[in-house]
Structure 1
Amino acid sequence: MIKLLIYAGMVLALGFGFSWLADRPGTLSVIWQGQLIEMSLMVAASIAVAFVAAVMLVWWLIRTVWTSPHSVRRFFRARKRDRGYQALSTGLIAAGAGNALLARKMAARSRGLLRADQEPLILLLDAQAALIEGRYDEARAKFEAMANDPETRELGLRGLYVEARRLGANEAARQYAEQAAEAAPYLSWAAEATLEHHAQSGNWQAALDLLDRQKAAHVLDKPTANRLRAVLLTAKASEAIEKDPAVARDNAVQALKFDKGFVPAALIAAQGYVREDNLRKAAAVLEQVWKIEPHPQVAALYVRARGGDTALDRLKRAERLQSLRPNHVESLLAVADAALAARDLAKAREKAMAAARMEPRESAFLLLADIEEAETGDDARIRHWMAQALKAPRDPAWVADGAVSETWRPTSPVTGKLDAFHWKVPYGQLSGPVEEGSLSAAEAAFASLPPVKPVSAEAKTGTVSASAPKAEPVIIRPDPVLEPAAATTVTDRKGEVMPFFGRPPDDPGVKQAIAEEPSSVAPPAPVTPQPSPVVVKAPAPVAAPEATEPVTAVPEPFFGRPPDDPGVKKPDQTSGDKTRLPLY
């Protein structure tokens, strides 16, 4: 463009000069070797311009002939270089696509057309072709050669780092990353790898210093740098919370300055304040995080921060959290849990059902099962809520690379990545299409809730009258000595609540005690024991001239029964003597 402008300027200058001479005619006389030569100024100017043009043309011809060998060599050299770069470009594309045959072919061609010392990308193409074909030792040698060249040092270290990670040589990978980070702190992969190594080894101060260098080199943007700094400070505080709570508190508070909604930092800061008996600042820190994002661990620490509080005091603190975020499921669950502990079952049920409607998940239904057990004790309703909890989505937890943890950790236990744990549902649950007019999961659970089973007065007293309706069969174990009258009175044990201790054991080596009868009844004849249980049904209600009194069975003692040892005699059943013989 500049040359074109210069050419146009020269043409305009010549045109202006000739027009100026045309407006001012004159004659030019020259005497040369006794001859007089006369011409006009226009002709003289034209001859001068033509002479200059002829000189320039002759000079160009001489220069072209003189430099023609070099021009020819340069032409063929440029053509060869262009072919080499074309082969190199094709080979790199083939290596990226995984075409090992074409990559190796283009590598050989580019090496023949280009010099490796002048074009380092040839080493990269050779290394990539070797990696595709599985020749890892050759590829590692190529990367080492690139690492020794100042121009390709970063590229060689990157290749060596990747190969070390592939082989599981973590120490070698760390050294390559540190060398790259020291030489070029703007390399994100080197800084990230070094940062993760410092985090895995617990060297938090070195990680913070490296993060400062990254921030100065403008490798990380401000939000990312602040987030990583908050994570590192929180990790440093979590290690010092048991040794030095004051230092841990200061680090956690500083972490909250970089990320105000970071829950782990808020928990550690609140724990530090609680250990100093500064509950006001602890509550302020937890309330600040709760306003940003409610978290169940924040609610648990806030409600139970003071050990001497009663259940009603904890309920008031939970309601305080609900007032900060009234329309959130965690607020409702916190109030429901505190109300259950305070035995305010009506409020607990109301809040738990509202939470289940808002977000039907496992913890909401489990809480409803606990409330049902405390309020009604109905096994059917309790089992209903437990079944809903099994079908409901799981609660959020700290998840990193598929690993679930109850507490937050700074690095992933699987990959070692920094800031990998996030509060989310461990896995997604696919749901079917929702038809129009169909109930939600919570509404369906509430609709299918069985009614409360009524408790009769007879069940409360533990007795059954003779005029009671026909009962279901009762399975009892046969006694070695079973009186006929006892068989008719066993059915009256239907509604009796027997204690656990003192009941006859299921050990067949210990026999049950003989049922006591009134002294007016003569002792019956011995009855042969039955090998299988006897099913006795309660008699159907019949009209009787006299109403019978309800019979209450008396639990028989465990100790003092005759064992099944054949060396010990049984009581004399023929004489009616029910005294038991001593063992020795």
Structure 2
Amino acid sequence: MRAVLKIALGFLIVLAIAAVAAWLADRPGAIAVEWLGYRIETSIAVLIVAFILLIAIFAALGRLILIASRGPRLLAARRLAKRRRQGELAIVRGLVAIAAGDARDARKQAVAAEGATNASPLALLLAAQAAQLNGDPDAAERAYRLMLDDDETRFLGLRGLIVLARRRGDNDTSLALAREAQALRPGAPWVASEIFGLQAALGEWHAAEETLVGALRHKLIDNDEGKRHRAVVLVGRSDAAAARGDTREALTLAETAHGLAPDLVPATTRLARLLAASDKRRKAERMLENAWASYPHPDIAEAYADIGGELSGDERAHRMASLAAINPSARESRLLAAEQALNLRQWAEAREALMVLVNAREATRRTFDLLAELERREKGDQRRATEWQEKSASGEAEARWFCRACGHAPASWTPHCPSCHSFDTLDWRVPGAITEILPPPAAPADGTLPSASIGKSG
């Protein structure tokens, strides 16, 4: 439709020009001009054409003058647009290089992007990521600090600096930066978790609990997750109270922790030991028996054995066998029952419990080791025992505590990983792949603590 209108308009203009030309042809006239001794005579039509040409010439000259005056600015704008396109292309290529793990190309593209875009936020972010990929924390810190100068990127810069400070174990700086980030965005869940994790990693249990309660009140942390974290904090506070000899406070804190997370095995076992130490052994036993009925765990069995008092070998074996009988179909119960049957020289019962696991393809190295011991003790059959031990060497390993942040396997559970000091990152599982793609470094040699990560453990 628009094309038709343009054609119609052009046609009308041509008609108008033709009509004017015809009108002038019907009315020829003459005009004479005398000036400085010169006389010029011409027709009206020629004069009009000359006037139109003169206007066109002046218009062209004006256009040339305008272009000449605007030329430098137009060229500068074009050069700037070209540089921006080159910068954007360098950013894209740099991000691809980072994704591919090409540290050299990432650094090259970061330098190009930063120069082409006058250190735009995206270019600075690329520079920081490339520097970290190249193992250059100083360059990464420089890029993040440049982000602090822009209100739009200040929070992102603070987050990068927090991560760098945490990696080098500078928790004081990490905490100060986290509080600054919290002032910028009070409702950011990541900031609340970071502050909580740092306080917990430093053993500032009261402050960590206050931060966690505030985060829960403002719904910055999921309620179930928050309850779990608070239970772990209370276990830490209970351990600290027990270490300074305040058994009463330790017991109160452990009871609160167990109430918040009944399935948190360390909270259950600590409470049971404190109850037994406070002459409430039967209550402790009932609690451990209830826990075994829901989630059998070696730490529960160990606590149950420890609070049993002075018992003979057979009495202790019968006691532990009764615990296994509470949840007889569980693998841990069958293993515990087999161990106690061996202690009581009940060979048939031990073999039955272990062969159930073998036939169900639930046998682990511990299962085969117990079978080897059974063959030696019952029949003195060393050949058969060796066969079971060979199966044990290639069998599935036993579950144990593993830090999902660094992969360390401590002998027992603690609120913090003994290696990287991450908070609440110990899971009960069999050895396997670590979920973290790039785990944080181990604790620095100077004894400072890296900030804690927040997560669930078994």
For the superposition of Structure 1 and Structure 2, which TM-score range results when normalised by the shorter chain?
0.5 to 0.7
- Provide TM-score, normalisation by structure 1: 0.51
Alpha-carbon offset, residue 200 of structure 1: 2.6
**Structure 1: gaps of 5 or more residues:** 1-75, 112-120, 429-584
The question of whether the paired residues in 2 share the 8 Å contact of 1:95 and 1:125 is answered with: no
| Equivalent AA in structure 2 for residue 202 of structure 1 | G
The question of whether the paired residues in 1 share the 8 Å contact of 2:416 and 2:422 is answered with: yes
Alpha-carbon offset, residue 375 of structure 1: 2.5
Alpha-carbon offset, residue 295 of structure 1: 0.5
SS in 1 for 2:299: helix
Percent identity (aligned): 29
CA distance in structure 1 between the aligned counterparts of 2:130 and 2:329, rounded to whole angstroms: 56
**Structure 2: gaps of 5 or more residues:** 1-73, 98-105, 434-458
Alpha-carbon offset, residue 127 of structure 1: 5.2
SS in 2 for 1:277: coil
Q: How does 1:256-405 map to 2 (within 5 A)?
A: 256-358=258-360, 359-400=362-403, 401-405=406-410
Alpha-carbon offset, residue 236 of structure 1: 2.3
Match of 2:254 in 1: 252
The question of whether the paired residues in 2 share the 8 Å contact of 1:185 and 1:217 is answered with: no
Q: Deviations over 1:124-160 (max 9, x none)?
A: 5245336637786566445334435555432221132
CA distance in structure 1 between the aligned counterparts of 2:334 and 2:367, rounded to whole angstroms: 10
Alpha-carbon offset, residue 324 of structure 1: 2.9
| Equivalent AA in structure 2 for residue 97 of structure 1 | V
CA distance in structure 2 between the aligned counterparts of 1:303 and 1:105, rounded to whole angstroms: 66
Match of 2:176 in 1: 175
Q: How does 1:36-435 map to 2 (within 5 A)?
A: 92-98=91-97, 107-108=114-115, 110-111=117-118, 122-126=120-124, 128-129=126-127, 132=130, 140-147=141-148, 149-165=150-166, 169-181=170-182, 183-242=184-243, 243-358=245-360, 359-400=362-403, 401-427=406-432
Match of 1:69 in 2: none
CA distance in structure 2 between the aligned counterparts of 1:310 and 1:137, rounded to whole angstroms: 63
CA distance in structure 1 between the aligned counterparts of 2:86 and 2:352, rounded to whole angstroms: 74
Question: Compared with structure 1, are the counterparts of its residues 269 and 357 closer, same or farther at alpha carbon in structure 2 (3 Å cutoff)?
Answer: farther
Question: Compared with structure 1, are the counterparts of its residues 141 and 425 closer, same or farther at alpha carbon in structure 2 (3 Å cutoff)?
Answer: closer
The question of whether the paired residues in 2 share the 8 Å contact of 1:196 and 1:418 is answered with: yes
CA distance in structure 2 between the aligned counterparts of 1:85 and 1:215, rounded to whole angstroms: 45
The question of whether the paired residues in 2 share the 8 Å contact of 1:339 and 1:348 is answered with: yes
Alpha-carbon offset, residue 261 of structure 1: 1.0
Question: Compared with structure 1, are the counterparts of its residues 85 and 229 closer, same or farther at alpha carbon in structure 2 (3 Å cutoff)?
Answer: farther
Alpha-carbon offset, residue 206 of structure 1: 1.6
Q: How does 1:485-524 map to 2 (within 5 A)?
A: none
Alpha-carbon offset, residue 230 of structure 1: 1.8
SS in 1 for 2:329: coil
The question of whether the paired residues in 1 share the 8 Å contact of 2:242 and 2:250 is answered with: yes
SS in 2 for 1:202: coil
Superposed CA RMSD in Å reads: 3.5
Question: Compared with structure 1, are the counterparts of its residues 395 and 163 closer, same or farther at alpha carbon in structure 2 (3 Å cutoff)?
Answer: closer
Alpha-carbon offset, residue 228 of structure 1: 1.3
SS in 2 for 1:405: coil
CA distance in structure 2 between the aligned counterparts of 1:386 and 1:137, rounded to whole angstroms: 53
CA distance in structure 2 between the aligned counterparts of 1:105 and 1:405, rounded to whole angstroms: 46
| Equivalent AA in structure 2 for residue 419 of structure 1 | D
Q: Deviations over 1:529-583 (max 9, x none)?
A: xxxxxxxxxxxxxxxxxxxxxxxxxxxxxxxxxxxxxxxxxxxxxxxxxxxxxxx
SS in 1 for 2:120: helix
Which fold has the larger relative contact order, with Cα–Cα distance below 8 Å and residues 6 or more apart in sequence?
A: 2
Alpha-carbon offset, residue 279 of structure 1: 2.0
CA distance in structure 1 between the aligned counterparts of 2:314 and 2:124, rounded to whole angstroms: 75
The question of whether the paired residues in 2 share the 8 Å contact of 1:248 and 1:268 is answered with: no
CA distance in structure 2 between the aligned counterparts of 1:262 and 1:154, rounded to whole angstroms: 35
The question of whether the paired residues in 2 share the 8 Å contact of 1:94 and 1:100 is answered with: no
Alpha-carbon offset, residue 423 of structure 1: 0.8
SS in 1 for 2:414: coil
| Equivalent AA in structure 2 for residue 333 of structure 1 | L
SS in 2 for 1:399: strand
Question: Compared with structure 1, are the counterparts of its residues 232 and 356 closer, same or farther at alpha carbon in structure 2 (3 Å cutoff)?
Answer: farther
How many residue pairs align between the two structures? Answer: 343
The question of whether the paired residues in 2 share the 8 Å contact of 1:241 and 1:268 is answered with: no
Alpha-carbon offset, residue 275 of structure 1: 0.9
